[in-house]
Structure 1
């Protein structure tokens, strides 16, 4: 069994019968933090339509930025482009928002339910070049499993 299918099976099992957004995001972030190596932050930012920004949601790691405008930083850019972003070296990303000086690379995946933006999954690593397209694809599937539980 691949790591991907194991992680997604663990998530599906963990979330069975639960549809509360906060509870599911909290357990999903904990699962990622305990399952992935070389990660120092795993969590979610939720989209606030009223404020047109991302607001800090459940996460594992050090304290983080609480509000991110759409189009700003890696998270806001991923939302604006509605696509997954892999940043090998955050210092080279124009407009990078340094919430944790230990972060060296970042992976952000928009959470979409149909056309509705729910937020993003954000992963940080203290190692440059930590993320790749294979992991991004696996975690996009992880996000699809998660989004299906959200009413």
Structure 2
């Protein structure tokens, strides 16, 4: 929990208070406009993927320490399994746009809490894993649809 809280705080600080955070939002919103503004788009993307890879590696180490072992299906199997769907759904439900340029660390945390609560509730009710995946997928589709409706209503384009 301490590591998570520290990473959340660092992520929120970087996104809101540093030039690199502004560059991330700019590249995510419109990479051509960012390029014309003098931002090195390729460097920002490489740095973003490097940070994401490092955090994913840290998460893997913590998960393997928690279960005292690692196997092929530790992360949900080939392709990430449920972890990939749940992480994308949590980010989108929290307000991070799939089309770039919007979101934040605290928004993603809110989405994680929603997905975790729904998943835990379905698990406690004894619902099968396939149904849990369907519900998570439906929540993801609903969140993306609402994101597009809001985008059209406000007249802002994310890409």
TM-score by length of 2: 0.26
**Going by fraction, where is helix more abundant, 1 or 2?**
2
Using CA pairs below 8 Å that are at least 6 residues apart, which structure has the higher relative contact order? 1
Provide the TM-score with structure 1 as the length reference. Answer: 0.27
More strand by share: 1
